[in-house]
Amino acid sequence: MNETLIWVGAWVAGGALGAMFYGGLWWTVRKGVSSPRPALWFLGSFVLRTGLALGGFYLLAGSHWERMLLGLLGFVMARPLVNRLTRAAEQKPARPPEEPRHAP
């Protein structure tokens, strides 16, 4: 039972690392395209996101390959979730087309 909780925790922690990584990428793209110095945004964000993800995986796994594998699974599973959430935030609700107000 205790081993199962550790594995679930590793999967959730990997998902949190993935959400941070891919959410940070989405935020960087939104800020970077309108910035006068986009290279600084993209390079700085890449270094920060990669460093946090690698450090998180290092702490997560310790010396257990099973935790690393489950963390990686959570990391990869976070990508479609962040993609869906960020697309929903960008889309505005569509208005139905108005019908003509006069007779033909």
DSSP for 59-77?
A: HHHTT-HHHHHHHHHHHHH
**Mean pLDDT, to the nearest integer, of 72-81?**
96
Q: String of b and e for 61-73 (b: at least 16 CB within 10 Å)? A: beeeeebbebbbe
Domain extent, residue 77, equals 14-86
Q: What is the pLDDT of residue 55?
A: 95
CA distance 26 to 32: 10
Q: What is the pLDDT of residue 88?
A: 76
CA distance 102 to 104: 6
Question: Which of the 8 DSSP states describes residue 3?
Answer: H
Q: What is the pLDDT of residue 101?
A: 73
Longest pairwise C-alpha distance within the chain: 76
Q: Is residue 37 part of a domain?
A: yes
> How many distinct structural domains can be found in the chain?
1
Q: What is the pLDDT of residue 53?
A: 96
Range with lowest mean pLDDT among 11-20, 30-39, 57-66, 91-100: 91-100
Q: Is residue 7 part of a domain?
A: no
Q: What is the pLDDT of residue 1?
A: 66
Which token pair is 37?
A: 């110095």
Q: Is residue 62 part of a domain?
A: yes
Q: What is the pLDDT of residue 98?
A: 72
Whether 51 shows a pLDDT value over 80: the answer reads: yes
Q: Is residue 9 part of a domain?
A: no
Whether 79 shows a pLDDT value over 80: the answer reads: yes
Whether 92 shows a pLDDT value over 90: the answer reads: no
